[in-house]
Structure 1
């Protein structure tokens, strides 16, 4: 079962050094500094869009069972439960050979390989014939075979996950209440939001939410037709505050209003301040974004609005040493600066014709000139934001060449609870630059004068026009 789409920040990338105390500066009276009082934040190596936690369904507590007796279920609901039980039984009986074949097939169907000497459909088929001719007496042996099989591809991001590793990864919480949502089309083609996973003993589970429940509203806001990201944004909020959600238990169960206590582990990744430049003639809004976690977009919007209210006329977005985080957060943050219809990023798969574009749906939050600070540890989601703003003439890039991580991984669950992470695509910038392995060159190594920034952006617009 395919669980979620993600892109991982480079695993061989070492932890970034402490943020430099002085940044690139030239014409500015006051160099931008990273103050020592910024809260220490944990940098994550994961760059995820949306995580779905396929935990084993939990039997509802007695209170819910009484409200929803199985004897009152329509026939089709009882049939669904029966089928689900049968699937669980079959999963427990899957053979070692079937597990290996399942992993082989996933790679065969979607892997994006760049090294033709190590990957081709013909080579992969010969590998299957060789593997399936061997004896696989134990599950441990089957897992070892899968590891070696994936390692032979020469892709550092395609890898095997043990059941323990898969469970740990899939419990990554983006909501703050311990649920993960997935968009499921109904029979009419409309999107429904289903709870595909719960953090065991998390706030939502303790409040009575169960796997398979449909999310109907958040704090009175109907989520019908909304994306999972939009719903999660409504759910998120300060730790130790509560949010009301309306859920429908299963396909045929009752509707319940639930108050859930938020317990966000994530800390704000945003630091901001106002700088006065050119003897007070220019007010610069400086925003440092440490990582793209569940609070990034919401806190960045707050920071930008406050800086605008304080009189900021130009902005500096500092993405140095930002290894990534939630890719969907990065995409949504990039949209804040773009005009409706402008391209954030292209995604490309194994077939060249399968290129898809992600575009901004609304107008920008700000239209002021922007400088984006980057360095060699600016990776993944950070590179998406930097290139989206740069290629759409919304910002210039200052600093060092970025890391160059632009691959897309999908994570698939195998029938024994283990999983495989497989590279299935890559990101391409609006100007059609392949980020992966190349990185992005800055426009300037040293901080330019503001008139240079305005002139360069104006020239960019004219060239594109």
Structure 2
């Protein structure tokens, strides 16, 4: 079984998710009993989420009397983390087929006492009672088959989303709701069209009360996946979502703003500027859409043209630009030497974390160390995350052997400790980290690892506070669901979720300001 792991920051070239986007994938192997994981990625996110892309297929594995056979796939009798009685879990097939209920297909359940009394007979005939077979005569009425109708394609898709969420979600209480009853509701509802199914999935995910768990349309999933793998065809911008204010007068809708423009990219050459608000794409209004949804609209085949309507601060009339889409690559790591207060300083800026970030930082570090700097500065301002292991591996470049980096706990409460295996490339040169309120997730893993180990001085403002990990699983129609599946703590066992990392030296320094101007006066 294979999973691919990544994390996410601003979307290189085309957009983001609530102000964030995606890095690139790397591979690790992991076994998951009962499921075959194929090509996918794990995104460990910035201000919105950390993700795992995963395609999976069920394997029908015989498990003696602990499994009730149906005409489609086995239903486990025991699943301690699901709500509902054992009888409910056993008798409600996901895909439709023999429910083994006495003449009923309406979801009514026999009593627990009846279930226990008839359990031995039930197991004996379970393999025989299929929708196209007749039950043996003389059996109790409980065992007479009541064959439900085969689920429609829309019902199957809805239940598929439920199953992925059931398998991955970190909170096994599912916010205290009757989680099994919700599956039954989704399986029994009649959907007029695909949009109705999507709405039902959204409602199911929203019921968990987790801001990071949500639904992706096929276009949104494709944009996210392509950005994560580095296959970006767009105009060369980074997007962020500005939340609306319904209480304002007049009410302010959610809107998407261009946070930065890739130098010499299509958008830059066409005159797009940071802080431009995207009004429409090819004549379709973008008001009320998230950065991720706008990114899906902006992307397209290389060489195709995009009509972009933008609202620019200080101008009363919208600006309309026609831009040709191209393959865009972000320079996620840049470095330079500078003189600050008479001291030679090596500056490294990391815009997002990808599978190549650690190697890029290592190369930059080697080049700077050859110039014998008196101090090093890593600029993480505005870096909303990226590939999870990228943050871990960059920390390893600066820490001595045996240093703790982070602790990750998954939905099964299993913990994985990330540490250093050997001394890093540089463990002695004075090191400063620049952070701000948008420094999140994988960036916070790096910052907390260096801060907790006493390796770096953190300068700036309190970071975002994102210490949970999401998975992104593709559904059969090309859409996807984003589900929170793990949490992490700093080396000192601090949970920074929602609280962030407190800097050692507080200093407001917007990302537009040059890093050399952000260093403390004592430096």
Normalised by the length of structure 1, the TM-score is 0.56
> How do 1:101-180 residues align onto structure 2 when only pairs under 5 Å count?
101-113=159-171, 119-120=175-176, 122-172=177-227, 174=229
Pair 421,3 (structure 1): closer, same or farther in 2 beyond 3 Å: farther
Aligned to 2:332: 269
2:438 aligned residue (358, 363, 377): 377
Gaps of 5+ in 2: 28-37, 41-94, 96-150, 234-325, 508-518
Describe the superposition over 1:194-248 as per-residue Cα deviations: whole angstroms up to 9, x where unpaired: xxxxxxxxxxxxxxxxxxxxxxxxxxxxxxxxxxxxxxxxxxxxxxxxxxxxxxx
Post-superposition shift, 1:106? Answer: 1.8
Q: 1:6–1:411: 8 Å Cα contact kept in structure 2?
A: no
SS at 1:358's partner residue?
strand
Aligned to 1:306: 367
1:444 is the counterpart of 2:505: yes
Describe the superposition over 1:116-163 as per-residue Cα deviations: whole angstroms up to 9, x where unpaired: 7x713x532232233333223443322221111112212222111222
Cα distance in 2 for residues equivalent to 1:108 and 1:339: 40
Post-superposition shift, 1:47? Answer: 4.3
Describe the superposition over 1:154-197 as per-residue Cα deviations: whole angstroms up to 9, x where unpaired: 2222111222322332223646799xxxxxxxxxxxxxxxxxxx
Pair 111,397 (structure 1): closer, same or farther in 2 beyond 3 Å: same
Q: 2:406–2:419: 8 Å Cα contact kept in structure 1?
A: yes
- RMSD of equivalent CA atoms: 3.5
SS at 2:400's partner residue?
coil
Q: 1:346–1:357: 8 Å Cα contact kept in structure 2?
A: yes
Aligned to 1:203: none
Post-superposition shift, 1:295? Answer: 4.8
Describe the superposition over 1:70-129 as per-residue Cα deviations: whole angstroms up to 9, x where unpaired: xxxxxxxxxxxxxxxxxxxx9xx9722222222112222221249x7x713x53223223
Aligned to 1:230: none
Pair 160,41 (structure 1): closer, same or farther in 2 beyond 3 Å: closer
Q: 2:232–2:328: 8 Å Cα contact kept in structure 1?
A: no
Cα distance in 2 for residues equivalent to 1:54 and 1:273: 37
Q: 1:6–1:410: 8 Å Cα contact kept in structure 2?
A: no
SS at 2:181's partner residue?
helix
Cα distance in 2 for residues equivalent to 1:382 and 1:372: 10
Cα distance in 2 for residues equivalent to 1:304 and 1:42: 29
Post-superposition shift, 1:376? Answer: 0.8
Cα distance in 2 for residues equivalent to 1:381 and 1:266: 20
Pair 300,2 (structure 1): closer, same or farther in 2 beyond 3 Å: closer
Q: 1:334–1:388: 8 Å Cα contact kept in structure 2?
A: yes
1:327 is the counterpart of 2:385: no
Q: 1:275–1:283: 8 Å Cα contact kept in structure 2?
A: yes
2:422 aligned residue (339, 350, 362): 362
Q: 2:387–2:442: 8 Å Cα contact kept in structure 1?
A: yes
Aligned to 2:348: 287
2:401 aligned residue (340, 361, 383): 340
Pair 264,42 (structure 1): closer, same or farther in 2 beyond 3 Å: closer
Pair 177,106 (structure 1): closer, same or farther in 2 beyond 3 Å: closer
Cα distance in 1 for residues equivalent to 2:217 and 2:442: 26
Post-superposition shift, 1:48? Answer: 4.6
Cα distance in 2 for residues equivalent to 1:141 and 1:442: 47
Cα distance in 1 for residues equivalent to 2:380 and 2:212: 23
Cα distance in 2 for residues equivalent to 1:127 and 1:145: 10
Counting matched residue pairs gives 297
Aligned to 1:419: 480
Pair 137,51 (structure 1): closer, same or farther in 2 beyond 3 Å: farther
Cα distance in 2 for residues equivalent to 1:337 and 1:398: 17
Q: 2:4–2:39: 8 Å Cα contact kept in structure 1?
A: no
Q: 2:380–2:433: 8 Å Cα contact kept in structure 1?
A: yes
Normalised by the length of structure 2, the TM-score is 0.50
Q: 1:344–1:430: 8 Å Cα contact kept in structure 2?
A: yes
Q: 1:7–1:48: 8 Å Cα contact kept in structure 2?
A: yes
Pair 311,269 (structure 1): closer, same or farther in 2 beyond 3 Å: same
Describe the superposition over 1:391-444 as per-residue Cα deviations: whole angstroms up to 9, x where unpaired: 122112111100111221111122232221111012211111122211110111
SS at 1:271's partner residue?
strand
SS at 2:421's partner residue?
coil
Describe the superposition over 1:365-413 as per-residue Cα deviations: whole angstroms up to 9, x where unpaired: 1121211111111112211110111112211211110011122111112
Q: 1:47–1:381: 8 Å Cα contact kept in structure 2?
A: no
